[in-house]
Structure 1
Amino acid sequence: MQHCNDAFMGKISGYNAQRRRPPYKHAPLSSPTSIRLLTLHPATPTAPGIHCTLHEADLASPPAFEALSYTWALDRAPRTGRARTIVCNGRALAAQRNLCAALRQLRRRGRGLPLWVDAVCIDQGSADEKSVQVNLMGAIYRATRTVVVWLGSATRPMRAALRDADGIFAGEWFAAQAAVARRVGERTDDLSLWRIALIDKFAVGPLLALAWFLDRGWFGRVWTVQECVLARRIVYFVGDRRVPLEDLVRSSEKIELRSTSLEDMFAYSVKQMLRGPRFLLNAREEVRSAGKCTFEAAITENRGRKATDPRDKVFACLAYSSNRLSANYKKTVQQVYAECAAELLRSETGLFVLSPVGQVRHERLLQGYFVRKEWEDIVPNAGLVAGLPSWVPDLSARTVPATLRSLIERPFTACLDQDPSFTIDTSLSVLTLKAAFLRTITNVGESFNFGPFPPGGIYNFQPIWEYLRLPIKLGPVYGPTEESTLSAFWKTLIAGDTAIRTGDGKVVEVNEQRFIEWFVRMAEDGGDLSPADMCRHILRLDERHMWMRTSPRKVWDESKVPRTGLAKDLRRNDVHKFDAVRDFLEALDVPTYGLQRAIRERHETLAQEKRQTDEADPLFRNLFEGYHVDRRLFVADETYLGLAPWTAQKGDIVMVGAGVYVPYVFRPSERAAGGWELIGEAYCHGAMLGEVSEGNLEFKMIDVV
């Protein structure tokens, strides 16, 4: 109650200060190493609001001080929040609501050292001062005695949730459960203990508390990383409660996903939320041991974080990563992002910087069935940076699609035996790159997204089976590798991956048997017809109905394939599907695979069962869906099969650059004659392990704009 009263009186006091006091103006700092520090004054009955004094200090001989890191909002959105007014050096200064709450809490706790608070101690209206101070932040955080992280007010539900979480995340519950397990002869590894915790529902409450805690806006800010990585000592507070965040993150390593139960899925989602805090701790250890972390790792992390100013995606990591850049708020976002890309190109990252550029540009159009609930993150004019060269990653957008290197452990070496050669013009708008033409994309499949659909129903509303028509014209033998086209097809579907890690941590080989298992299940999955009926029609065991005997090939039009849930449309969709499966089998099935034989055996099994039992999804499906989010299958010059970003289209060119690990897709530029736009990286089966660089490729310099 006292806290609420303090906040109310502070609000009234701030309102009066705003009306009666002149606005505060920052005086210029006297030296390039000068900073401002804030001293809080105690509240009095006549001055219940926040009163403070700003004074100058020099980092050359700094006094003891603390830094305040606070959350902008209680959720992940970087909103500025409603402004309040504090009294600074006798004058009125606007401050965010959460900052005022943090200052009141620190004043109440009686922390006596001066504070460095970026929003107050830096003149936010001066681009010159902001640039100088941001470039000093490394020295500022290294000089602080403690970084105080304030994560917001502690509501009654939050206090109860954190209290529930203490027992399990502090390790006390696991220690007690391990002792019981040892007495009865059960396993005591972390995975087994988590299974017990989830089955007994004991962990659900603490996991919910942790999820609630991690959803606070502070965990998504770009500046958070620097504040944690460079600090000598950090303390975390929710309201007046100190939270052992580092213990929570370390103990969360026990969380694993083993099944599809609700509890396990929730545990897994919490584990995903902990990736950000875990990166903070890992980067902190790396900086302590090596002095810096790589610029690529820092930029990759910041790309997924929130920033009110998009330039801060770069500026916020300069102090703790290896780079030669400096903050300059007079530069445009386009200039900052281009300088960032150029720095990455000249670093050990090299040409890999071309891989994460596959985001949607303003001029791109949404095509096909790109169904996502996150459309606002990717559609044109949704906060993306216009005017960027195609080779420059837009750090304001997610990497779409995710890079192959982030999905697969297998190393690709498409053209690593060639020495890279590239130049960047002085305007940072044209990348001149040594590359060779490989093939022209002559056909593309649909782009699929699997998120919004429930398991078992996606193969009809987003007809994956349309992919089956693409490789038919290649014939039974795949020319680039001289293997069967069927073999090349399934390997392309999973980008050449060779293994998958199951929920219990085991590594399982992916082979043709895994593909056959998936193919049969995919083929039998009908919209209106049962699995047994689908198998029967694929095998031509039932041609009784006239509409079943009419081949859709004569009137095939992809744009007219129905996608509604109406029974008649689902039935027509089934016809298109089993017709495509038939054509695929007739053209490409070989004895070593025996897909028709496998479907026949499956049909016999289904016919003998009165009801179909629940079956786990084939492992191949997990890989396939993982690689096809935001990608599409393509055929190049009736020769190569491959995967490309979902924006790839007929007429695009697949090229290999000298010194790159994967091929890339380019498109002739419409705005720069003779130039090329980068579409994104590609998996091209038979061109990923140096095969093409051994041939007679003609390399030349191309301009990427």
Structure 2
Amino acid sequence: MSRPSNPISSIENVECQAAPIYAYQSLPGIDYIRRVIIHPGSLQQPIIISLDTVLFSQDNYPQYEALSYKWGSEEHRELIRVDIANGQTISVTSNLAVALKHLRRTDKPRTMWIDAICINQADVVEKGPQVKMMGEIYRHAARVAVWLGPEADNSDIAMAKMEYLGSQIQFDFAKTMRMSPAMAAMEPDMADWKIPLHLESKDLHAITHLLLRSWFGRLWIRQEISLASSAAIIICGHSQVSWPVFLRGIAVILLKPRRTVCNPDPESISLVENLDSQLLKRTRVLTSFLRSAHIHASLFALRDTFGTSGCADPRDRIYGVLALLPDFLGKKIVPDYTKPFGDVYKETFLHCLRTTMDLSVLRECECGTGSHIPSWVPAWSTNPKHTQLHNQFASSHIAA
């Protein structure tokens, strides 16, 4: 039986559809950003926002939270109202609309930076400099809020389990990448990688579905969350966990052998094996989170790690990781969405060659990459066909 629709919400939707689209005012300069103020309201009420423009510089970092999320399908969009007084609207994806409803407070406004709203997506000239600033925007946010999506597949169980696992250990992200018991650990053995982690099959099912959510498959996430302060939070439905605790939970899941408690029948065993294989698909990206956020990677190492991650615009294969590159590379590449992606790839590759004077980057070139780029330029828009063996796989680091 379907639930009755909210008549007030239906009226608001009709009014939004008839309202004019919001007209962005040009930013005063390249050192300015917009912030979105989410007006207070209940989960059922229509979304109302305001936009303001503020100076963003070393001498004047404004207060805001930054949102990290999956845009969602462009085919499913909703209109949200910008200031009830002027009656204009902005079109956002349905996933962002749901996020806004969960993020807004009931008693006071919430000021955030959200790329889809704060950057005029229709203005490619504005978009380039704003994308260039995104690393600093996430770095200087009071908090980064990660939106995984609404509650589903026992996500509340998964969030609670990840919070518990993460609370049991300490983890050295910068040096040894080893676990040690937390000061108030109820299970000190959780930090011993030789002792298997016992999980109920329902817990494994919930955690796997949580880690397979589309946010973890986004290209932009490493930049957004790696640059975030320790106040970052993960939000799924009505559950939230601090990012550092969630990250330690990931360490437990990845670094300890698992023994899943399930019924001994073939169907249950097959289900557990399938969940394990599904979780394996996220291993490379999840492992990258455990490395120190302050270690810069090369453009090619990032491609190796995030080559299968999703982004809507092929140019973002470069622009989405700029803040993770060494300064001599990242700060020299200027996003320009007026250029075809083939030109962006070619210019980036030539810049890497001139800067590093290292011809080994030519190994990233692959045959059959299409007519958009020369054969001597890496096809960053496609998944890598091979994996480079890096120094950590040297025989001196591996015990037989």
TM-score normalised to the size of structure 2? 0.78
Residues 1:127 and 2:124 are matched in the alignment: yes
Distance 2:382 2:252 in 1: 31
Distance 2:131 2:11 in 1: 32
- What is residue 101 of structure 1 aligned with on the other side? 98
CA contact (8 A) 2:163 2:246 kept: no
Residues 1:298 and 2:314 are matched in the alignment: no
CA contact (8 A) 2:40 2:106 kept: no
- What is residue 215 of structure 1 aligned with on the other side? 212
Partner of 1:401: helix, strand, or coil?
Answer: coil
Once the two structures are superposed, residues 306-350 of structure 1 have per-residue CA deviations (whole angstroms, 9 ceiling, x without a partner) of 110110010111123121211000111101111222233234482
Match of 2:325 among 315, 321, 324: 321
Partner of 2:145: helix, strand, or coil?
Answer: strand
Residues 1:399 and 2:399 are matched in the alignment: no
Change in CA separation of 1:49 and 1:352 when aligned onto 2, cut-off 3 Å: same
Distance 1:110 1:282 in 2: 39
Residues 1:234 and 2:232 are matched in the alignment: yes
Distance 2:162 2:137 in 1: 34
Once the two structures are superposed, residues 63-95 of structure 1 have per-residue CA deviations (whole angstroms, 9 ceiling, x without a partner) of 31111122234xxxxx33500000113301101
- What is residue 77 of structure 2 aligned with on the other side? 83
CA contact (8 A) 1:134 1:315 kept: yes
Match of 2:375 among 385, 390, 398: 390
Residues 110-149 of structure 1: matches in 2 within 5 Å? Answer: 112-149=109-146
Once the two structures are superposed, residues 91-129 of structure 1 have per-residue CA deviations (whole angstroms, 9 ceiling, x without a partner) of 011011111111111114657441111000111011100
- What is residue 334 of structure 1 aligned with on the other side? 342
Once the two structures are superposed, residues 414-465 of structure 1 have per-residue CA deviations (whole angstroms, 9 ceiling, x without a partner) of xxxxxxxxxxxxxxxxxxxxxxxxxxxxxxxxxxxxxxxxxxxxxxxxxxxx
Change in CA separation of 1:397 and 1:255 when aligned onto 2, cut-off 3 Å: farther
Corresponding letter in the other structure for 1:273: R
Change in CA separation of 1:336 and 1:11 when aligned onto 2, cut-off 3 Å: farther
- What is residue 178 of structure 2 aligned with on the other side? none
Change in CA separation of 1:149 and 1:164 when aligned onto 2, cut-off 3 Å: closer
Corresponding letter in the other structure for 2:62: P
Distance 2:392 2:30 in 1: 47
Residues 1:309 and 2:313 are matched in the alignment: yes
Distance 1:397 1:146 in 2: 33
Distance 2:200 2:356 in 1: 43
Distance 2:333 2:141 in 1: 24
Residues 598-613 of structure 1: matches in 2 within 5 Å? Answer: none
What percent identity do the matched residue pairs reach? Answer: 25
Change in CA separation of 1:241 and 1:177 when aligned onto 2, cut-off 3 Å: closer
Residues 7-406 of structure 1: matches in 2 within 5 Å? Answer: 12=10, 15-43=13-41, 48-60=45-57, 61-73=60-72, 79-89=73-83, 90-108=87-105, 112-155=109-152, 157-163=154-160, 166-168=163-165, 170-171=167-168, 189-194=192-197, 197=198, 202-232=199-229, 233-243=231-241, 244-256=245-257, 266-267=275-276, 269-286=278-295, 292-322=296-326, 323=329, 324-348=332-356, 350-358=358-366, 360-362=368-370, 386-403=371-388, 405=389
**Cα shift at 1:394:** 0.9
Once the two structures are superposed, residues 619-672 of structure 1 have per-residue CA deviations (whole angstroms, 9 ceiling, x without a partner) of xxxxxxxxxxxxxxxxxxxxxxxxxxxxxxxxxxxxxxxxxxxxxxxxxxxxxx
Change in CA separation of 1:407 and 1:320 when aligned onto 2, cut-off 3 Å: closer
Change in CA separation of 1:206 and 1:169 when aligned onto 2, cut-off 3 Å: farther
**Cα shift at 1:247:** 2.3
RMSD: 3.5
Distance 1:10 1:100 in 2: 17
Partner of 1:98: helix, strand, or coil?
Answer: helix
Partner of 1:190: helix, strand, or coil?
Answer: coil
Distance 2:396 2:22 in 1: 62
CA contact (8 A) 2:208 2:275 kept: no
CA contact (8 A) 1:35 1:58 kept: yes
TM-score normalised to the size of structure 1? 0.46
Corresponding letter in the other structure for 1:317: V
Distance 2:135 2:249 in 1: 27
For structure 2, the residue ranges without an aligned partner over 5 or more in a row are 170-180, 260-268
Distance 2:365 2:196 in 1: 42
CA contact (8 A) 1:34 1:59 kept: yes
**Cα shift at 1:298:** 3.1
Distance 1:346 1:268 in 2: 42
Distance 2:363 2:167 in 1: 40
Distance 1:230 1:190 in 2: 28
Partner of 2:125: helix, strand, or coil?
Answer: helix
Corresponding letter in the other structure for 1:130: K
Corresponding letter in the other structure for 2:118: C
Change in CA separation of 1:297 and 1:112 when aligned onto 2, cut-off 3 Å: farther
Distance 1:42 1:312 in 2: 33
Distance 1:44 1:167 in 2: 30
Corresponding letter in the other structure for 1:193: P
**Cα shift at 1:10:** 8.2
**Cα shift at 1:51:** 0.8
Q: Which has the higher contact order (CA 8 A, sep 6+)?
A: 2
CA contact (8 A) 1:9 1:48 kept: no
Change in CA separation of 1:312 and 1:162 when aligned onto 2, cut-off 3 Å: same
Corresponding letter in the other structure for 2:250: V
Partner of 1:319: helix, strand, or coil?
Answer: helix
User: Mean alpha-carbon deviation: is it higher for 11-20 or for 133-142?
Assistant: 11-20
Partner of 1:342: helix, strand, or coil?
Answer: helix
Number of residue-to-residue matches in the alignment: 361
Corresponding letter in the other structure for 1:72: W
Partner of 1:355: helix, strand, or coil?
Answer: helix
Change in CA separation of 1:340 and 1:8 when aligned onto 2, cut-off 3 Å: farther
CA contact (8 A) 1:161 1:205 kept: no
User: Mean alpha-carbon deviation: is it higher for 163-172 or for 27-36?
Assistant: 163-172
